[in-house]
Amino acid sequence: MRMIRQAGSRELEIRKSRFVCTLARAAGEAEAAAFLARHRRAHRDATHNCTAYVVGEHGEIAKSSDDGEPAGTAGIPMLEVLTRRGLTGTVAVVTRYFGGVKLGAGGLARAYAQAVAGTVDAVGVVELRPVVTVTVGVDHALAGRFLGDLHGRGVRPGDVRYGEGVEADVTVPVPDLDDFEAWAAQVTAGRASLRRGAPGYVEVPVSP
């Protein structure tokens, strides 16, 4: 699953028309719609506020609007950029200020697609990889060796707590869970307690 790294805006000028693309993250359709409503209110003086968004864990919800531009010349080209990049959880609005020169259907489609593509490149993309936090508990006598072995494995625990024993929270990619737990049991001679937490995601930057 991929989404934009952060929200951001970028302006493009084509034949005296200004195309300002703004991208934001959206956890679901309601959040996307709320963002677009706020944007339209803030830019009601614009000629058009054309929109596209893709939301859902698998990008299953995708919608677009031409906002008065000729049908198919704005929203769909914008949406195609998001879907081609494999993005979800992402909402785009391109605010156009008409400069007096008509671009034609093909020119409009290219302009709106270019505005979104350039802004996606500018803000960056991350891949969301599923992980689970595993809490590993060991007694004090084992803690130093276990934490050293953990660092030797190239893993830094997110949190280490000292009490009657020692607990370390380790973020583990879902495909590696069984291997990690088997390794933890092996290096502690079966004396570690292992507790899986709720699943989540880590964000990994994607090269352009």
- Mode of pairing for the β-strands spanning 48-55 and 90-97: antiparallel
Please provide the average confidence, as pLDDT, over all residues in the chain.
Answer: 94
CA–CA gap between residue 78 and residue 156 (Å, rounded): 40
For residue 200, the surrounding DSSP H or E stretch is: strand 193-206
Coil vs helix vs strand at 93: strand
Judging by beta carbons within 10 Å of its beta carbon (0-12, 13-18, 19+), is residue 175 exposed, middle or buried?
exposed
Residues sharing a CB contact under 8 Å with residue 2, sequence separation 6 or more, in sequence order: 85, 86, 87, 88, 125, 126, 127, 128, 206
Question: 3.40.1110.10, 3.40.47.10, 3.60.150.10, 3.30.70.240: which CATH number matches 127-206?
Answer: 3.30.70.240
Coil vs helix vs strand at 194: strand
CA–CA gap between residue 207 and residue 23 (Å, rounded): 19
Average pLDDT over residues 86-97: 97
| Residues 121/208, Cβ–Cβ less than 8 Å | yes
pTM of full prediction above 0.85? no
Judging by beta carbons within 10 Å of its beta carbon (0-12, 13-18, 19+), is residue 82 exposed, middle or buried?
buried
Q: Domain 2-123 in CATH: superfamily?
A: Impact, N-terminal domain (3.30.230.30)
- pLDDT at residue 208 greater than cutoff 70: no
Per domain, the residue ranges of the chain are 2-123, 127-206
For residue range 146-204, list pLDDT tens digits in order.
999 998 888 888 889 999 899 999 999 999 999 999 999 999 999 999 999 988 988 89
For residue range 2-40, list pLDDT tens digits in order.
999 999 999 999 999 999 999 999 999 999 999 999 999
Coil vs helix vs strand at 102: coil
